[in-house]
Structures are given as C-alpha cells and as structure tokens.
Amino acid sequence: MTAVAGIWRVLALAMLMLAGSASAAGLYEARIPVFGSWVDLSLWNVEPATAETAKRVVAGDMGELHTRWHAWEPGALTAINERIANGEPAPIEPHLAPILRRAQELSLASGDLFNPAIGRLVGLWGFHARNHRRPPPAEQIAVLVAAAPSMADLQIEDRLVTSANPAVQIDLGAFAKGYGVDIAIGRLRELGINHAVVNAGGDLRAIGRRGDRPWRIGIQDPFGDAHLASLEIEGDESVFTSGTYQRHFVYQGVRYHHIIDPRTGYPARGAVSVTVIGQSGAQADAAATALLVAGPAEWPGVARDLGIRHVLLVAEDGTLHASAAMAARLRFEQQPTPEMQITRLE
Ligand code: ADP
Ligand code: MG
C-alpha cells in the first residue's frame, strides 16, 4: 500500500466513525408506510445499526397487524366474524387471544361506549367501504341496536372464541392502532431503546425523553389544519385522539361520521374530538373513542371508570372541555388562551 492510499484509508475510516457517532448522538427519524398511512419513528441516541433494525422490525409488525386485524379485508378477524355469525365457535391462534381480551376489558370498563362488537352497525353505515353515501334505514339500525352485541358475549379461550350472540361482529378500528403502537414500543425496548416516540398519524406513545428535554407533540385542531395546542410528554405516556372529521359523509346537508354510539346506532353527537393521555396505546385509543361517544355531558364519569386523568374534548359548538390535569399541561399557540370548561377528575 502506498503512503497516500494509506492516509486516505485512515481518513475515510475516521470520517466513517465521525458520521456514525454523529447520527448515534441525536435524533433518528424514519417514516414507515403502513397501507395507505404511515408510522413515524423517532429515536434518541441510538446506534444507526440498531435504529435500522428497529425500523425493519416495527414495519414488519405493523404490516402483519394490519392484514390480521382488518375489519373487512379477508384475514384472521373476518374468519372469526364469519364463524360467530353462523353461531359456530371460531378457532384462533393462541397469540391472537390477548388483543381480544384487552378489547373486552376496556369495553367493559367503558360501559360499552367503546364497543368493538358493533362491526355490523359500522358496516351498515357503510364505513367498511370507501363510498359510504347515505344513512341506512332506521329499521335496520333499530334491529342491530336491539340485538345488543357486546364484547361480554365472547368467551375467549387460547384457541377458541365463542359468542353467545350471533350479532357480534368484531371491528378493531378504534383499537388496533393503539395496540399496535404498544407492540412497537415493546419491540424497541427489546432492542434496548428507551427514548422513543411511535407516532401513527398523530396517535402516539412516547417513552423516555428527547435528550435534555421532554418530547413535544401537537394536538390536531378538529376545525382546522393547525395544531390546537401542544403537550410535553415523558416517561411513558400515550396520546390518542378520536375525531369525527376523520371519516364522514354528507347526505342532504347533514354530516354523518364513523364513530357510532352503540346505544342509539347513530353517529355519536356532542363532541367533534377527544384527546386523552393514557398509560398505554391500547387504553388511550379505546378511551378516546369511548369519551367521544360519551360527549360533553358524560365524559367525566367514563374517564374515571377507565382510569384516565387527562382529557381534552372539543364540543360540536367549539367549546373546550378539559380535566384539570390536562388543562395544566396544555400549551396553546393561540393567544389569548381559549377558555376551557374544567372538570376535576380525581
Ligand atoms: P379515529 O378514526 O379518529 O382513530 P377511533 O379510534 O375512534 O377513531 O376509531 C373509529 C373506528 O372504530 C370506526 O371507523 C369503526 O371502525 C370503529 N367504531 C365506531 N364506533 C365505535 C365504537 N363505539 N366502539 C368501538 N369501535 C367503534
Ligand atoms: Mg380509538
């Protein structure tokens, strides 16, 4: 080797090491496409090789979750639903039981306002298809409400799910994202990553900190594109929002959205969005849906039952309702700070 080539080799090696340490110390960000949407991964102070592994593992998990738990595209869930509709026990793989059990616990705690057993109602409203255009006949809604499908109708064993009620059709649309974010955080921890955010389109779980400060995240304004407020989170917190603006259609001047009040069979009235901070993605996702159904009058009781302390609810008339704990943490970009109706939960 000539002296010049040798110097170049040493220089190149030094630059490589510099590049490596520079990207290990700081923020690593990656966007993972997941079937028409995406998951954003933010990692703090992680070796590049570990970060790439994390990205690959999380992408694999999310893709699998999507196909497995899709409410209407054929997969494990549609197979279970078909069996239930026929009044037959549904065989399941043992690792599928935990998500159903968790959904069952949370629906019970929410007084069935979060009710993933109402898949037939969601389908009747056309939200299992792209072109949902008009409300279904009132008689058909009434029949499904009277059939009272509930997660409590399910007996979930490790290899078998049985339903006492053939009207049950499981739809994990309000829950799978939260559960998936939890799986992703579990994977990151297995890789020794303790400072991270897994953000699925604004719904996220954050662990640790962003270096010397907490993670900072925005809460979507249901009436506009900007952020309504921001929040600093650290340790292990999940922030989830349910909004009626996510999916909806307008028929004869009336807007119908995709979050159904299981008590009436119609889209929930009163709230346009609810943001909660929970202890896990699963709990926060289920709670955001349940509190959106509960609306401005009933949300505090349901939040207490679900063990949620931080809630921000935007009502149809634009008024803001918040738990005291949440109000204390919100940072508004808008000045003067908008008025909030504050409720003490604890
Ligand atoms: P977002 O779309 O804002 O994430 P959610 O997490 O509340 O909203 O999920 C809404 C989805 O959950 C609907 O598209 C539907 O599939 C299903 N769903 C609708 N109403 C309910 C309900 N009361 N309980 C559980 N799942 C519901
Ligand atoms: Mg939800």
C-alpha 110 chain-centroid distance: 16
* Rg of the chain over all Cα atoms, to the nearest angstrom: 23
Using DSSP, state whether 332 is helix, strand or coil: strand
Cis peptide before 116 (omega within 30 of 0): no
Task: Determine the pLDDT at residue 4.
Answer: 47
Q: Which of 66-75, 83-92, 255-264, 286-295 shows the lowest per-residue confidence on average (mean pLDDT)? A: 66-75
pLDDT digits (tens, 9 = 90+) for 244-254: 988 899 999 99
Q: Is the pLDDT of residue 19 over 80?
A: no
State in Å: Cα 289 to ligand 2 middle: 4
Q: How far is the CA of 206 from the centre of ligand 2 (A)?
A: 17
* DSSP, res 153: G
Provide the terminal-to-terminal Cα distance of the chain, rounded to the nearest Å.
Answer: 73
The DSSP code sequence of 260-324 is B-TTTSSB--SEEEEEEEESSHHHHHHHHHHHHHHHHHHHHHHHHHHT--EEEEEETTS-EEEEH
Expressed in angstroms and rounded, the spacing between residue 10 Cα and the centre of ligand 1 is 57
Is the predicted pLDDT of residue 20 greater than 50, yes or no? no
Residue-wise pLDDT tens digits, 292-305:
999 999 999 999 99
Distance of CA 345 to CAs 187, 214, 302, 304, Å? Answer: 33, 25, 10, 7
Among 289, 292, 314, which residue has the most ligand 1 atoms within 8 Å of its CB, making it the best to mutate?
A: 289
Q: What is the mean pLDDT of the chain?
A: 91
What is the per-residue pLDDT across 151-207, written as a single tens digit (0 to 9) for each? Answer: 999 999 999 999 999 999 999 999 999 999 999 999 999 999 999 999 999 999 999
- The residue with greater pLDDT, 267 or 69, is 267
CA-wise closest residue to 241 among 214, 281, 186: 281
Ligand nearest to the CA of residue 129, numbered in listed order: 1
Residue 103 phi, psi (nearest 5):
-65, -35
Minimum CA distance residue for ligand 1 atom 6: 174
pLDDT tens-digit map of 324-341: 999 999 999 778 888 999
User: Is the beta carbon of 243 within 6 A of some atom in ligand 1?
Assistant: yes
DSSP lists the bridge partners of residue 269 as: none
What pLDDT band is residue 25 in, cutting at 50, 70 and 90?
confident
3-state secondary structure of 93: coil
The protein residue with its alpha carbon nearest to ligand 1, atom 16, reads 173
User: Is a pLDDT exceeding 50 seen at residue 18?
Assistant: no
Instruction: Find out whether the beta carbon of 115 lies less than 6 Å from any atom of ligand 1.
Output: yes
Distance CA 92, CA 102 (A): 16
Give the whole-angstrom CA distance, residue 184 versus residue 198: 7
Question: Residue 28: is its pLDDT beyond 80?
Answer: yes
Place of tokens 């969005």: 273
CA nearest neighbour of 205 among 220, 189, 190, 221? 189
Q: Tell me if 122 CB under 6 Å of ligand 1.
A: yes
Q: From atom 12 of ligand 1, which residue's Cα is the shortest distance away?
A: 174
3-state secondary structure of 148: coil
Residues with CB under 5 A from ligand 2 (ion): 174, 242, 285, 288-289
More confident call, 72 vs 269: 269
pLDDT the model gives residue 132: 67
Model confidence at 86: pLDDT above 80: yes
CA distance 25 to 197: 16
Q: Is the CB of 262 under 6 A from ligand 1?
A: yes
How many angstroms separate the alpha carbon of residue 14 from the centre of ligand 1? 52
Does residue 284's CB lie within 6 angstroms of at least one atom of ligand 1? no
